Amino acid sequence: MRDINRRLVLHLIRKRHPISRADLARVSGLQRSTISLIVEQLIEERWVLEGPTGRLPRGRRPTFLRLDEGRIIIGVDVRPIRTTVALADAHGRFLSQDVMNTPGDPEAGIAALIASIQRMMSASKGRTIEGVGISLPGRFDHAQNRLVFAPNLNWRDLDIRTPIAQATGLDVELENAANACVLAAVWFDPSPAVRNLVVVTVSEGIGTGVLANGQLVSGLNGMAGEFGHVPIDPQGPPCGCGGRGCWEVFASNRAALRYYREASGQSSSDFIELLNSADGGDEHATQALNLMASYLGQGMRMIVAGLAPERIMIVGDLTRSWQRFGPVIEAQVQAQTLPGGCPPDVVPVHEDGMARLRGTVALILQKHFGTGVEVPD
């Protein structure tokens, strides 16, 4: 209960700052004394600052509250090709960014991350760095403290946390990229909160993050959400996971590039280029993307049937061409809705790098404020 109230008060200050204690009590429905207690604690912990003093009619002068912007978080988005390290405040606003190529070698990768984090630390003197949140294209086993399943990244079965925590002295939290996007939606999405949400990230592979009944689903060893590795054709092409014909082999960016290569005899290694070629009227590119869209829609049907989410958020470069992908995916989702069911909203997330990074900020915030969805609007 304490966590829930603290989280509620923090969210309200974040969303409505500057806000007075009286207004916090009115909006949250909590007792004035409870609000005072929580606010004093947040001020003491330096999450919240007092001031300025407001002016109201009849001479009352309430003290407004706002987030302490000197409290900052380092977010890291590791992707198979590029890695971004960013500095953010507790509003999830980014103050600076450092982008690098992801080293294929895990040791070199961790060394590069440490160097970049240390640069951010020395550029942030005078501010409190609360921790490092890391989003990964794999599953993180929180019990074993290891990256256990990352078929599109060579850094497997690896302890990433300990060397970074030791070198920087900071608290380090890791999470799968799709789960990070779920957390970003829970903490920072301006649209009304939902308790049943699936985020589907589509890039080199396909990942899903599942929020069910207001809780992020992790499953045994953190492995829940691997819809991308459910085979939809056991005779299909081999997959990075060791299986064949997985959903991601048919519906990822890589799949579209393969369709294009097979149809045109030309190779293209860049998905954005493929989107541009299709927009420019290239028939092979159009066919390749249409095939990818159709497979994406087919896979969505198992998500709708299995989880009955209120909202599905799609993250990835394909959202740049939503007029092509959106109608196909929405039609399949509608077609899967069973009698008595209600189709979920399908929402493209247009700034995918930001969603992952915001999720890493939420990862650190939820260490202090707990998990769960009871976010006021």
134 touches Zn ion (CB under 5 A): no
Which one of the spans 126-134, 174-182, 235-243, 258-266 is the region binding Zn ion (CB under 5 A)? 235-243
Question: Least distance (Å) from Zn ion to the CB of residue 233?
Answer: 12
Size of the residue set binding Zn ion (CB under 5 A): 5
Q: Is 274 within 8 Å of 288 (Cβ atoms)?
A: yes
Render the burial of 48-73: b for 16+ CB within 10 Å, e for the rest.
bbeeeeeeeeeeeeeebbbbbeebbb
Question: Least distance (Å) from Zn ion to the CB of residue 254?
Answer: 12
Give the residue with the Cβ less far from Zn ion, 100 or 241: 241
Question: Least distance (Å) from Zn ion to the CB of residue 160?
Answer: 22
- CA separation (Å) from 134 to 120, 305, 326? 15, 31, 29
211 touches Zn ion (CB under 5 A): no
Question: Least distance (Å) from Zn ion to the CB of residue 241?
Answer: 3
Question: Least distance (Å) from Zn ion to the CB of residue 274?
Answer: 22
Residues within window 316-375 making contact with Zn ion, judged by CB under 5 A: none
Give the residue with the Cβ less far from Zn ion, 176 or 277: 176
Which one of the spans 232-240, 273-281, 315-323, 341-349 is the region binding Zn ion (CB under 5 A)? 232-240
Residue 103 CB partners (closer than 8 Å, separation 6+): 109, 112
Q: Please state, in angstroms and rounded to a whole number, the distance separating the CA atoms of residues 344 and 199.
A: 12
Q: Is omega for the bond preceding 52 within 30 degrees of 0, making it cis?
A: yes
Q: What is the DSSP letter of 123?
A: T
Which one of the spans 62-70, 130-138, 223-231, 319-327 is the region binding Zn ion (CB under 5 A)? 223-231
Give the residue with the Cβ less far from Zn ion, 109 or 205: 205
Give the residue with the Cβ less far from Zn ion, 244 or 320: 244
Compute the residue count for the chain.
377
The dihedral region occupied by 54, where left means phi > 0, alpha psi between -120 and 50, and beta the remainder, is beta
Give the residue with the Cβ less far from Zn ion, 133 or 207: 207
Sheet containing strand 82-89, edge to edge, reads 94-101, 82-89, 71-78, 128-136, 172-176
Tokens of 27: 């909006």
Question: Least distance (Å) from Zn ion to the CB of residue 139?
Answer: 13
Q: Is 165 within 8 Å of 172 (Cβ atoms)?
A: yes
Question: Least distance (Å) from Zn ion to the CB of residue 225?
Answer: 13
Give the residue with the Cβ less far from Zn ion, 9 or 210: 210
229 touches Zn ion (CB under 5 A): yes
Q: Please state, in angstroms and rounded to a whole number, the distance separating the CA atoms of residues 203 and 319.
A: 11
Other CB atoms within a 10 A radius of the CB of residue 82 amount to 12
Render the burial of 276-288: b for 16+ CB within 10 Å, e for the rest.
ebbeeebebbbbb
Give the residue with the Cβ less far from Zn ion, 45 or 157: 157
From 103, 243, 343, 372, residue interacting with Zn ion (rule: CB under 5 A): 243
Give the residue with the Cβ less far from Zn ion, 183 or 239: 239
Nearest-CA neighbor of 153 among 81, 229, 245, 210?
81
Q: Helix 352-369 to helix 2-16 angle, to the nearest 10 degrees? A: 140
Residues within window 246-265 making contact with Zn ion, judged by CB under 5 A: 246
Which one of the spans 200-208, 240-248, 315-323, 338-346 is the region binding Zn ion (CB under 5 A)? 240-248
Question: Least distance (Å) from Zn ion to the CB of residue 223?
Answer: 13
Give the residue with the Cβ less far from Zn ion, 188 or 227: 227
Q: Is 89 within 8 Å of 69 (Cβ atoms)?
A: yes
Give the residue with the Cβ less far from Zn ion, 243 or 326: 243
87 touches Zn ion (CB under 5 A): no
Sites of contact with Zn ion (CB under 5 A): 229, 239, 241, 243, 246
